[in-house]
Amino acid sequence: MAEEILRLEGLSKSYGDLQVLESIDLTLTKGEVVVLVGRSGAGKSTLIRCVNLIEMPEAGTMHFRGMEFEFGHGKKLDRKRVQTLRTQVSMVFQHFNLWPHLTAKGNVTLALEKVLGLSSQAAEARAVEELERVGLGDKIDAYPGTLSGGQKQRVAIARALAADPVLMLFDEVTSALDPELVAGILEEMKKLAQAGMTMMVVTHEMGFAREVGDSIIFMDQCRIVEQGPPEQVLSDPQHVETKRFLGTIIHH
């Protein structure tokens, strides 16, 4: 039986009167790639930001590798547990989030020193290793302003990988890229999946979802409305909103 990495039960989130997540139940096992799809505003990005507690849920429970986090009025989270979770869950953002005044190596090194407490020497060695892994061995000393969008995203992936995470979160990481750069980033993500990395991916790239995903979750109006293997969800969707969404994607 596969090892459970993450389990969400009844997770909810709102901003004032605006409900953005409602009663989300989800389980993720070791080495599994879950792809989240749906229209803009469905709650996909908020969901993965709740997983590493960038956003704080208001109700529900999250289990991560034996740790339990309860959310709700009057519930207080243990800071050490939150920190432990954040060192094991890495996120790659849509808009790179790189420090412009640091080189590619500096962007990766900083996180290792500040979050994991590595020495400068150890952090630099790991940064170089991860940058080479994503094909940027010749851009180690380059600043973000001199890099293409695809190269910036590779730096962001290297930074996330350098922490040796248990779970990787990807939030629309190709949507800010020119079309000719998208395939390269998707290929890097495919390599990670093949190497056994556990991943949650928010994307509109249906080809990637079909080829790499172990399961696809379709979200609509803050809820999970359909979930299953890629072939089933993409080829024979059961929910009317899933059919409508996929019809729009295929039409375009």
Q: 66 is written with which tokens?
A: 């034996």
The continuous run of DSSP H or E covering 5 comes out as strand 4-15
User: In this predicted structure, what is the pLDDT of residue 123?
Assistant: 95
Domain extent, residue 156, equals 4-251
Count of domains in the chain? 1
Report the CATH number at residue 76: 3.40.50.300
C-alpha to C-alpha distance for 192 and 187, rounded to whole angstroms: 9
Predicted TM-score (pTM) of this structure: 0.92
Residue 208: name the closest of 227, 192, 225 by CA.
192
How many alpha carbons fall within 13 Å on the CB side of residue 61? 7
What's the helix, strand, coil split of the chain in %, to 5? 40, 25, 30
**Residue in the structure block whose two tokens are 């293997």:** 229
Q: Please report where in the chains the tokens 């243990």 appear, as a residue.
A: 78
For strands 67-71 and 59-64, give the pairing: antiparallel
Which of 155, 158, 134 is closest to 145 using CA atoms? Answer: 155
Question: pLDDT at position 250, please?
Answer: 60
- Chunked into runs of 10 residues, the chain (252 residues) has average pLDDT values of 93 93 96 95 94 94 95 88 92 89 96 87 95 94 94 93 94 86 90 95 93 96 95 92 85 48
Half-sphere exposure of 16 (CA within 13 A, CB side): 0
